[in-house]
Structure 1
């Protein structure tokens, strides 16, 4: 590996301080690889909770993070309730799984937990800096960062793109992701008078599907997933939401009340489609998390994949710096294999819904 005596050199610079970036930082730190995490925001944006299915527990154990899940801010859940392929609400419990419970994460709090662990492990952080330029120079890479008041130049062997779907490092390098669909979410909060049970609730409708996140208070988060071109203009958003929710089984059997316009607030549209890089690494860079592969939320791959790619990507970089030339190809194989399995499982799940085979949304998937 290339080493420099200056304080502005790190073996690896990680751009992005979310779960994938922190997982990579923890892994590299455990291998004594000098690392810095660069994060644009001092405080995480409010993020929707995410479910950790039972089969994700071994990964948390492997990474030594299972203790984070045992916290009162996260909640156990024991199965899924869905209306899919039929108009009947079905319940599927985790009774026969090796780990018979999942975790509904408080996502913002979980990211703070990860940040605290990284800082206890004395991983370097640069907060409020964004990537400005990245250039290969002889045997190392020059990275220029900017904040509102400062410009900082660092040098490294490898840059890690952990910037999520926007893939900022890849874009700076002129590397484009492939896109498989147009899925987006219309998320919102609504006030209801009943408590939502701690299950994951989903329901398909003519041009998409609904996800309801459990809540302890009277404000519940709902996401309507459909294709971006099927989401109406902003001034028609509430009518679109009310029509879907008030004609849904979840609206009748979980909310137990009709939603009114005044009940809905904080409406946000987000991209949620499946994208991938044909090759998630190059001579001086590696992509992890959503920057490398981003998943349809129906799969529940989000956090689990982010942590896994950070973990395996971190080990790959540590190995390549120790002259194990096949390390990045092995990382690519692991992630590509998982992505191919995901595509098969996602197709099978969407294929279970045949009631609206001729609608725009479902015909695009089946």
Structure 2
């Protein structure tokens, strides 16, 4: 049976970040249910990530990937148009990522530093074994086990490992994202480098150009009237009719033949974030509303800080995971305050279920 210092369940940005930091010093294994990353929404990486990537020793290789710059945000919110940019940000611009390409880069970085990659594999069970853990896994039709001193849940919103250990996910809301990718005309789009959001009665829309591609998404409650049986044609038609985003799609000649994908996009947290010889990172620990544009940054941050916590515990500092959990608690409190401000700024539809639910939920959370 293979023996590791740290087993990481999930090889997305958070898990790969943690593995790349720890692998030069420890025996680390990365486990993922997917052989290759999938195309997905969540492509905005804010400027502050530059410091994290530099501290992880990945910035130069990351910049060589050529991801387009993320220059700022434009919003049509509360009846007003606003544009903010990162010109004065000391970290410079952020990035609009090819998400699957970024995840491949992060996986490769972890493996290059010595992490063992196993994919596709499925976690069947985890149990205490001596001073560590025994994980039972399945690859194709073959079952096998491995031993690890510490285990890390980087398995995304489903938090598969943490749930097996008794942790509970707490949802603040039920937001889902209906999204698709498509293509723009060859000419530079009018919103090059900018993400745009626009509020409507039943939710809010998002779009961003991605090197000739484009993502369009509608965020709403799953019981919203306009989201039932949402086809590609219906989503694009509704987006083109928006007063703010519509002209962007028209002038960029946006088209799509992709199916609409619906994914969870709600705020949620894990209780607890960690326990004896285990912790959760990324979406498994904290899931952010896409309006905050913090999902990818949090994945890298929690992977980096989670690696420091693992190092502390492996060096005999029993409080390492407690300090990590305290840090995440402070992040939750700041996040809830900021999101309450964002949602309370839209007052045009006080009777609309989408807005009433969020303003009530985040006001309660901050009480």
- TM-score, length-scaled by structure 2: 0.90
Distance (whole Å) between structure 2 residues aligned to residue 69 and residue 33 of structure 1: 23
Give the deviation of 1:107 after TM superposition: 1.3
* RMSD (CA atoms): 2.3
Q: How many residues end up aligned between the 2 structures?
A: 356
Query: Unaligned regions of 5+ residues in structure 2, if any?
Result: 360-367
Distance (whole Å) between structure 1 residues aligned to residue 246 and residue 277 of structure 2: 54
Change in Cα spacing, 1:65 to 1:236, as seen in structure 2 (3 Å) is closer
Partner of 1:339: 332
1:355 partnered with 2:345:
no
Distance (whole Å) between structure 2 residues aligned to residue 252 and residue 34 of structure 1: 51
Describe how 1:170-249 pairs up with structure 2 within 5 A.
170-190=162-182, 193=185, 195-196=188-189, 197-217=192-212, 219-230=213-224, 235-237=229-231, 241-242=235-236, 244-249=238-243
1:44 partnered with 2:37:
yes
| Aligned counterpart in structure 2 of residue 300 of structure 1, from 268, 293, 304 | 293
Distance (whole Å) between structure 2 residues aligned to residue 94 and residue 114 of structure 1: 25
Change in Cα spacing, 1:73 to 1:259, as seen in structure 2 (3 Å) is closer
Secondary structure of 1:277 counterpart: strand
Distance (whole Å) between structure 2 residues aligned to residue 173 and residue 306 of structure 1: 21
Distance (whole Å) between structure 2 residues aligned to residue 203 and residue 274 of structure 1: 19
- Per-residue deviation, residues 4-31 of structure 1 (Å, max 9, x unmatched): xxx611121111111111111122224x
1:288 partnered with 2:281:
yes
Distance (whole Å) between structure 2 residues aligned to residue 104 and residue 130 of structure 1: 31
Give the deviation of 1:64 after TM superposition: 1.9
Distance (whole Å) between structure 2 residues aligned to residue 279 and residue 152 of structure 1: 29
The answer to whether the 8 A contact 1:85-1:355 is kept is: yes
Partner of 1:266: 259
- Per-residue deviation, residues 221-265 of structure 1 (Å, max 9, x unmatched): 2010111222656545457525632331234331236999x8553
Distance (whole Å) between structure 2 residues aligned to residue 242 and residue 230 of structure 1: 17
Secondary structure of 1:221 counterpart: strand
The answer to whether the 8 A contact 2:73-2:83 is kept is: yes
Distance (whole Å) between structure 1 residues aligned to residue 270 and residue 66 of structure 2: 35
Partner of 2:318: 325
Secondary structure of 1:345 counterpart: helix
Change in Cα spacing, 1:237 to 1:356, as seen in structure 2 (3 Å) is farther
Describe how 1:33-72 pairs up with structure 2 within 5 A.
33-48=26-41, 50-71=43-64
The answer to whether the 8 A contact 1:89-1:249 is kept is: no
The answer to whether the 8 A contact 1:68-1:110 is kept is: no
Partner of 1:12: 6
Secondary structure of 1:154 counterpart: strand
Query: Unaligned regions of 5+ residues in structure 1, if any?
Result: 1-6
The answer to whether the 8 A contact 1:252-1:258 is kept is: no
Change in Cα spacing, 1:100 to 1:26, as seen in structure 2 (3 Å) is closer
